Amino acid sequence: MSIEIKAVTKDNRAAMLALHVNESQTSYIESTEQCLKEADECHYYQPVGLYYEGNLVGFAMYGWFPEYDEENEEGRVWLDRFFIDERFQGQGLGSIMLQALIQHLAELYKCKRIYLSIFENNTHALRLYHKFGFKYNGELDFNGEKVMLKEL
């Protein structure tokens, strides 16, 4: 099984922009276009393509944010965006890619925790995150989404 997490470059940017979720999921996550715009505006964001067996199957955006200093943390690693393209959903790739991302973030940032936020009614994503040990921590983000964390 070949899994790659690749930065967005001029060579793959058009393919990234072509990724999209199912129509029923659009209220839960921003488009890749919006994500890339945000990454251009905030250097903490790292947008990446998720490749399985050489095919671009999904998108993620993560980063280390130093603003958080609660609980004596020196910052937080956020898995801010994560989705599998509509054409590749229902094949188990969400689990495969989330596992790869967790491992990637743990190695890249040498972190003890990974944070994300989610709309509580996003039941498919919520089930996936629970499966991987993410738990609510009682916080809400600036959009009113519930914050989850995974202890590593």
Catalytic residue among 28, 62, 129, 136: 129
DSSP state of 78: E
Distance CA 61, CA 39 (A): 8
How many Cβ atoms sit within 10 Å of the Cβ of residue 88?
A: 18
The two most distant CA atoms of the chain are separated, in Å, by 42
**End-to-end distance of the chain based on CA atoms, in angstroms?**
24
Let me know if 129 is a catalytic residue.
yes
Which residues are designated catalytic? Answer: 129
